[in-house]
Amino acid sequence: MKIGVIVNPIAGMGGSVGLKGTDGDALAKALDMGALPGSADKASRALARADLSDVDVVSPPGAMGSDILKRLDIPHGILPMKLSGSRIDTVDAASSMGDVDLLLFCGGDGTARDILDGRSDLTVLGVPAGVKMHSGVFASTPEAAGDMLQAFLEGRTESDAVEVMDIDEDAFRKGMLKVELHGYMRSLTDSSFMPGSKGPSDGSDRDQREEIGEGVAASMRAGAMYLIGPGATAKSCMDVLNLKHSILGVDAVMDRQLVATDLSSEGIMKILETTEEASIVIGVIGGQGFMLGRGNQQFTPEVLKRVGTNNIIVLCTPSKLSRLKVLRVDSGDPSLDDELRGMRRAVIGYGRERIVKVV
C-alpha cells in the first residue's frame, strides 16, 4: 500500500480574520492581521489516527508534508522538488505522486482544485483546513479523515467520483457567492465521515428565512450582545431589523442596533469585553450540515468558550433540515467539538424549534 500526503501550509489562514480565503493578496493581509497557520495541526490530527507502520508514504519536502511526518515519526519518502511557495507546488506534487493508492491532502477547495490540475486520476481524501469547503472530497473533521484513512488501509471503504468546486474569493469578499464546478475526482465515500458537496438552497427557503428572522429579532434580550454569523438564514434577523450587514461576515447587534460589522475573531473578543451577556447566531450549510467550522471561522474556539456553548442559537429552515440527517461541527478544538455534539435545539420558524443531532 502506498499513500501520498500533501499539506497546504497556508490553507484557512484568512478565516479567523474574516478574509474568507488566502488567494492572491489575501495571504499577506491575513499575516498582517495576525492570522496563524492551522493546517499542520489538522494534518497531524488526521495522520495520528491511522496505523502507517507498514505503509509506503511519500510527500513533498518541508511544510508541505515531510516536516509533519517527521514529527509523528512516520517513515516516508520525499518527492525531489523545490518549493516556490505558490499553488504550483501543489500541482507539481500531485503530478509527481506516481502510483499511490490514495492521496491524503490537507487544505481547502483551492488545494483540491490544484490537485485536480496536477493529477485528475488520483483517489483522494481531504483533511478540511480551508475557510469554506464546497467540494465533496473532504472528511467532516481531521479526526474523521484519519478514521477514513485507517478504514481504507483495512479495505473497508468504497470510492466514487465527486465534485471539485471552488469559489471566486474576490467576489466572496464583496458579499457575492460564485461557485464553479471545476471537475471530478475519485474520493472515499461514507456519509458518516464525508459530508459531501454543499447543496443549493431551495426556493422555498426565502419565506422560511424571513419567519425565522422575525422570531430571532423578537426574542432578542435588552442589553445582550448578538453576534450574527454569515449566511442568508443568520442574516434574516438583520433584514427584519433593517440593519446594514455583511452577508459573509460576523456582525454585532445590541438593543436592535448595529454595533460593528464584518468582525474578525480578534474584533469579536474585543466586543465581548464590553458585555456580560452574549449569544452567537449561526445558520447551517445546506447539503453538508455544518453549523460551525465552514465559512464562520471567525468563531474561534476562544470565542466559543467565551460566549458559552449554551448561548449558540442555531437557525435552519425546515426545507434545508429535511435534507440533512445530522448537523456537524468542526470548531478546530476536538474537546470543544465533543461538548457541542449531541442533541441540540434548532430554530426553524417563529417560536418553533426542532431537536437535531449534532455530530
The pLDDT assigned to 194 comes to: 78
Nine-digit cell at 265? 475573531
Query: DSSP letters of 290-335?
Result: EEESSS-TTS-HHHHHHH-GGGEEEE--HHHHTT-S-BEE--S-HH
**pLDDT values of the chain reduced to their tens digit, one per residue, 359 residues:** 999 999 999 887 755 545 555 555 555 555 455 555 679 999 999 999 999 999 999 999 999 999 999 999 999 999 999 999 889 999 999 999 999 999 999 999 999 999 999 999 999 999 999 877 788 899 999 999 999 999 999 999 999 999 898 876 565 555 555 667 889 999 998 877 777 666 555 555 788 999 999 999 999 999 999 999 998 899 999 999 999 988 788 999 999 999 999 999 999 999 999 999 999 999 998 778 999 988 898 999 999 999 999 999 999 999 989 889 899 999 989 999 999 999 999 999 999 999 999 99
Nine-digit cell at 231? 449566511
Location of C-alpha cell 442596533: 257
234's CB contacts (< 8 A; 6+ apart) are: 228, 281, 282, 283, 315
Backbone angles phi, psi at 261, to 5 degrees: -130, 150
Backbone angles phi, psi at 277, to 5 degrees: -125, 125
Distance, in Å, from the CA atom of 43 to the CA atom of 72, rounded to the nearest integer, reads 11
Distance, in Å, from the CA atom of 264 to the CA atom of 4, rounded to the nearest integer, reads 35
